[in-house]
A and B are shown apart, each in its own frame.
Chain A
Amino acid sequence: MIKIEHLRKEYPNATPLKDVNAVIGNGDVITVIGSSGTGKSTLLRCLNLLETPTSGRIWLDETEITDPKCDISMIRRKMGMVFQSFNLFGHQTVIENIMLPQMDLLGKTKQEAYDEGMRLLRVVGLSEKALNYPDEISGGQKQRVAIARTLAMSPDVILLDEPTSALDSTMVGEVQAVIRQLAGSGKTMMITTHEMAFARAISNRVFYMNEGIIYEEGTPEQIFDHPQRENTRRFIRRLKVLELLIEKKDHDFPGMSGEIDRYCAKNQIPAKLSSRIHLALEEAIRQQILPGLESPRIRAVVEYAEAEETAAVTVSWNGPERDITRTGDELSLSLLKGIVSEMQYTRTGTDDLPNILSFEIR
């Protein structure tokens, strides 16, 4: 139902889309993944012409929407969009946000718009908030209202541009639940996200974007478990593997903590395990390894195994041989031993980071 041919988008200082070609069928639920800045959002925004493509053509059914004569407002009514920043109309209550577009654009009566609005609010579980203003509800609730508002226009296609990225981790679930429900209803959807487990759960096709093109596409199993091309493999591995480098005494540890959080969120690591990963890395690196080094170079690798719900950690560092499983700070060591298992120190003669500590967290 959507056909994209040689789509290209240039900005004065960047070209996020070089040559995108794709066919999207009825009922497809497509997840677009890729690193930041690889044009995932640009692709979505080009589809409803919030961004004007530099060249290339896009068809929705039989209509070429990149044709300058095309009535883009009509096309956009068939193509709903959910934004990362919700963009509810701040001057209107929740129910009005859903009613107004129906009355203004679909010519429904106030009563019809209200009935449909309340029905959708019940679907997303927010009928009690109908008369609240957007700034009176939480981010997750706002996003659910935004989804209801999009649905009220009964679009043929729904584009979701990182719908949970601006949300507190406690609210991601409620929005994902609504989207999951939506995906099961047979609507054609295209969604950009960083949550891979979520992507795997809802979509039937995955586009991996890199270098301004759809670099590899396939079913979730193909992309996540058996990626064919080199860059895809590296990207998927980076998703599953967290690598941390510490090269200064006064390293940005709060920033590192954030990285760990993001990694855990991406892989939907349970909260208990996530806090243990935090604690183990903190104790091992900051309390044990770092104090003994003049000019530290430390590399930590975390790999999460979804099936077993365990995380394997390897920390390697420079300097003289030092088996911290025996010589480390007592209190810290006992803390570490309390949360990890199979802790093991090895020394290799050849590596430039010859000290290696490995353990597993459950």
Chain B
Amino acid sequence: MRKRRLIALACVLAVLCAAVALSLADAVSGGPILSKEQLNQAGMKIGVSTGSASMLIAEKELPNAEIVYYNDTASAYEAVAQGKLDAYVYDRRQMELAISSGRSGVRLLDENMDEGVPIAVGISPVTEIPDFTERLNAFIRELKNDGTLDGMFQRWAVDQNEQMPDIPSTADPQIHLTVATSGVVPPFSYYKGADLNGYDIELAYRFAAWLGADVTFKVYDYTGIVPAAVSGDVDCIMANLNITDERRESLSFSDVLYTEHVGIMVADTAAAASGSFWDNLRESFTKTFIREGRWQLFLQGVLNTLIITVLSVLCGTLLGFGVFMLCRNGNPVSNAVTRFVTWLVQGMPMVVLLMILYYIVFGNVSISGILVAVIGFTLTFASSVYSLLKLGVGTVDRGQYEAAYALGYPNRRTFFRVILPQALPHILPAWKGEIVNLIKATAIVGYIAVQDLTKMGDIVRSRTFEAFFPLIAITVIYFVLEELIGLLISRISISFNPKRRSPESILKGVKTDD
């Protein structure tokens, strides 16, 4: 017995060692990269941005290299600087901006990957605004003809003037324009303080004014932004969006706004660390929280995370409890339905469940991402609560039911007066664990356009070009939230534990001096 256990332990250790060795070997090869040709070799690791034109170009032009897919650019920059990637190919302007804003340890090759990528507005095939494409193109032609479009590009992209011009909003809008944007691509779509800013945002305001519409922005990851337009969640995408053949299959595009290039970022081995640790930390802190009032973003993120968590816990607990009550007496229909839904919900990755709810189930309904997140997490939390109740109530001895029945308690009162009070002390600690899990699980709601704490961290990272500090900051915030909620639940647990009562409270209101 002991021998077998030792062998198992040895196997686990061996696998771990192998994994560590492999991840070490993962580090990239060879000396500095000087040209595009060098990238097209076996063993080269090239980062691309998922779904972008840079991804398609890299896949086509670098067939020998290994392509690694990134959803957020700040992580990719860090990977290059640390040598986890040989190169990252992406929008050249973005990368220049990052380097000029202080992203160190990386540099750009002079060469580009391509001759230029056209950028346009992506149009939802199911938008409810009539003649949308024609009107948008007419608007773009007008801006081109009077030089406004070039002026916008000059101001935002070349001069890097962050001032949003004054665009009058429509007084009595007859049309409602909903625009998907990314919020993480300066100078086109990004957060300045707590507000969206940039070329695409100005374009949206101008188009809305031109249409006689008001405008609502929804912020998506690039992985979710095209599905959002396809499902009709938004009317169009203004997010420095490349025209690619694949995207053309599901979306139509407006006339080209401007052309961007795909650049190549490699590690800059010459770069030396500067400043002391504390100076760097202070600088990171200032950049992440203070500058442009970015703490407001975090505050909003915390608020959204809390709203989703608290509502999901409340609704999930109620739902789970209700379902348990329906299934308690062994009704075959409700049990079968519950088993099926629990199986479905618990077996599915949470992010997939959320995406299905948001883009398919509620695809044609105008519904806020927060509500969808609450619905999704309510379902999973309810199934956890259901399982917990089943487990906890199962620990109560059969004799307790019989004693209550024999005294004349009806079924339902037996449950509430005798069984549940004894099950709760078993259930509450696990319930608390589920809540902490839930807080962490909500970190994926960025996929459905909810700006929770994690998403806000991504947004700030896209501005500060720092990989670590915002991540650590949000981790700390998560810990604080979990701790606070944990304290609250512990309080509740104590008050639910009947054995923690004092003798005085047990006989409150009774004269005992006899």
Contact = CB atoms under 8 A, between A and B. Distances in A.
Contact of B510 (A110, A146, A153): A110
Given A50-B405, A111-B511, A133-B499, 12 more contacts: A48-B406, A74-B408, A76-B405, A77-B407, A77-B408, A80-B407, A88-B403, A89-B404, A91-B499, A101-B407, A101-B408, A105-B409
- The 3 nearest A-B residue pairs measured at CB: A77-B408, A87-B403, A81-B406
A93 interface: yes
A30 interface: no
B504 to A, nearest CB: 10
A109 to B, nearest CB: 9
Contacts of A133: 499
A334 interface: no
A118 B399 contact: no
B421 A83 contact: no
Contact of A90 (B404, B409, B422, B511): B422
Interface string A319-350: 00000000000000000000000000000000
Interface of B: 397, 399-400, 402-410, 413, 417-418, 421-422, 498-499, 503, 506-507, 509-512, 514
A104 interface: yes
A35 interface: no
A149 interface: yes
A83 B403 contact: yes
A114 B409 contact: no
A153 B403 CA distance: 13
B418 A114 contact: no
Given A83-B402, A87-B402, A91-B498, A105 B407 contact: yes
Contact of B403 (A89, A93, A110, A111): A89
A177 interface: no
B406 A50 contact: yes
Contacts of A105: 407-409
A151 B338 CA distance: 42
A85 B401 CA distance: 12
A33 interface: no
Contacts of A81: 402-403, 406
A50 B407 contact: no
A115 interface: yes
A73, A79, A86: which has the most chain B beta carbons within 10 Å? A73
A271 interface: no
Contacts of B399: 83, 85-87
A46 B50 CA distance: 70
A215 B507 CA distance: 50
B410 A90 contact: no
Nearest to A153: B407
6 contacts: A50-B405, A73-B405, A73-B409, A105-B407, A114-B512, A153-B407
Contact of A104 (B406, B413, B507, B514): B413
A162 to B, nearest CB: 13
A123 interface: no
A114 B422 contact: no
Contacts of B507: 95, 114, 131
A107 to B, nearest CB: 12
Contact of A89 (B410, B418, B514): B418
Contacts of B418: 89
Interface string A64-99: 000000000110110111010111111111011000
B408 A76 contact: yes
Contacts of A79: 406
A126 to B, nearest CB: 16
A329 B167 CA distance: 118
A206 to B, nearest CB: 24
A269 interface: no
A219 B427 CA distance: 52
Interface string A102-143: 001100001100110010000000000001010000000000
A105 to B, nearest CB: 5
A89 B400 contact: yes
Nearest to B408: A77
A17 interface: no
B351 to A, nearest CB: 41
A153 B408 contact: yes
A76 B512 contact: no
A79 B506 CA distance: 28
A76 B406 contact: yes
A154 to B, nearest CB: 12
A75 B511 CA distance: 32
Contacts of B499: 91, 133
A115 B406 CA distance: 22
Given A104-B409, A153-B408, A131 B403 contact: no
Contact of A114 (B404, B407, B503, B510): B510
A100 interface: yes
A96 B408 contact: no
A292 to B, nearest CB: 42
A81 B408 CA distance: 10
Contacts of B408: 73-74, 76-77, 101, 105, 153
Nearest to A106: B408
Contact of B410 (A73, A96, A150): A73
A131 B506 contact: yes
Contact of A111 (B407, B417, B503, B510): B510
Contacts of A50: 402, 405-406
Contacts of A83: 399, 402-403, 406
